[in-house]
Structure formats: C-alpha cells, structure tokens
C-alpha cells in the first residue's frame, strides 16, 4: 500500500512540475491608461477616458510625428475612447451619454476635437467623418515638456476640462454637466 501511495505521489509531482509557464508578449510600447472625471474621490464618474500613452523618445511630436491638419487617434494604438455617463455639453454643443472615439486634428494655435460614433478601431486609418457626433475647436497652449502623452481632468465651472498634453503642447476640452 505504501508503495502505491508513494508511486502516486511521484506521478503527481512529475505532472505538476512539467507544466510550463505561459509565455506572454513583451510589454506594450505605449501602455494603456484610464482617467476619470468625478465630483469626489468615491463618487460615480461623469466621464471615463481609455487611451494609450506614447513616449516622445527624442522625437519632434506635433508638426512631424503627429502632423498638423490631419486626424490623430489622440494617443497610440487603438483610438482613444471616451465614455460620458450622462448627457453633457462639449464646447457648448449637446452630446448624449454614451461611448465615443476621441479624435483630434492638431494645429499650432488651435485643435479640432472630434467625438465619433466609430468605435473599436486601430488608429485613425479608417476614420470616417460621416460618423462624427460633434466637432469643436479649442485653443492650443504651451507648457513644460512632457515625455509621455497624458490626459487628465480639472474641475471647471459646472463641469470638467479634459486636458491633453504631450511634449510642450496642451489643449483643454470643456465638458459641462447638464
């Protein structure tokens, strides 16, 4: 009986040690991040943004890597996704609660901001203007150098400013609660 138990134990150990670990692909070059706009730390969110964060790596960003006057996915990899948990206004224009892709058209002094009904696309290569939900223009500003593309929120009167920053460029997109 002891010999049978010992043999069973050896067989079990050899089976468990022969299991190999899963191989995973390397880390994302532009890691995905999520940012929320909410009225308090533990409050339900009003807005959620999911985006990838490319790095500058010594490159000239706006006007070269990201050309002026062309639709940009506003980050890297998949198009940036924005979810509005309630109806709002963006730059004074009504927008319904829902999920949209966030595209931009950078310029030296002004950016066009686009919320699109076109979801789950990689980059802006198949961007379709006919699926735009809203377009607004916002002024471009300069700030200190940011190595990694970043999105954040700041509280503004009756809503939030969605701030985009990379290199020395900054834009703020106003969202007003209804």
Domain count, the chain: 1
Position 100 in a domain: yes
Residue 54 to residue 123: CA distance in whole angstroms: 13
* Segments forming the whole domain that contains residue 45: 28-177
Report the pLDDT value the prediction gives residue 14, as an integer from 0 to 100. Answer: 55
Is 161 part of any domain? yes
Domain contains 14: no
- Sheet harboring 159-177: ordered strands across? 32-37, 47-52, 80-84, 98-105, 110-116, 132-156, 159-177, 88-90, 93-95
% pLDDT > 70, the chain: 87
The beta strands (E) that lie in 25-158 are given as 32-37, 47-52, 80-84, 88-90, 93-95, 98-105, 110-116, 132-156
Q: What's the predicted TM-score (pTM) here?
A: 0.84
CA distance 89 to 96: 8
Confidence of residue 13 (pLDDT cuts 50, 70, 90): low
* Residue 5, in any domain of the structure: no
Q: Is residue 22 part of a domain?
A: no
Q: Tell whether 10 is covered by a domain.
A: no
Q: How does pLDDT run across 44-98, given as a tens digit for each residue?
A: 999 999 999 999 999 999 999 999 999 999 999 999 999 999 999 999 999 999 9
- C-alpha–C-alpha distance, residues 88 and 139, integer Å: 20
pLDDT interval class at 178 (50, 70, 90): confident
**Contacts (Cβ under 8 Å, ≥6 apart) of 51:** 32, 33, 35, 74, 75, 80, 81, 102, 149, 151
Q: Report if residue 127 sits inside a domain.
A: yes
- Give a yes or no: residue 19 inside a domain: no
Res. 25 pLDDT band, cuts 50 70 90: confident
Q: Which of 119, 45, 134, 114 is CA-nearest to residue 86? A: 45
């Amino acid at each position: 009986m002891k010999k049978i138990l010992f043999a069973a134990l050896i067989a079990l150990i050899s089976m468990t040690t022969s299991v190999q670990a899963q191989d995973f692909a390397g880390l994302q070059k532009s890691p995905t991040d999520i940012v929320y706009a909410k009225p308090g730390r533990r409050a339900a969110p009003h807005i959620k943004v999911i985006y990838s964060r490319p790095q500058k790596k010594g490159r000239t960003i706006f006007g070269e890597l990201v050309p002026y006057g062309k639709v940009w996915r506003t980050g890297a990899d998949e198009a940036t996704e924005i979810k509005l948990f309630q109806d709002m206004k963006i730059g004074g224009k009504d927008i319904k609660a829902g999920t949209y892709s966030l595209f931009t058209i950078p310029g030296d002094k002004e950016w066009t901001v686009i919320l699109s009904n076109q979801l789950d696309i990689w980059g802006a290569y198949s961007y379709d203007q006919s699926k735009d939900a809203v377009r607004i223009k916002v002024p471009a500003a300069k700030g200190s150098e940011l190595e990694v593309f970043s999105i954040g929120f700041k509280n503004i009167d009756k809503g939030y400013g969605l701030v985009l920053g990379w290199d020395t460029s900054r834009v703020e997109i106003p969202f007003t609660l209804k």
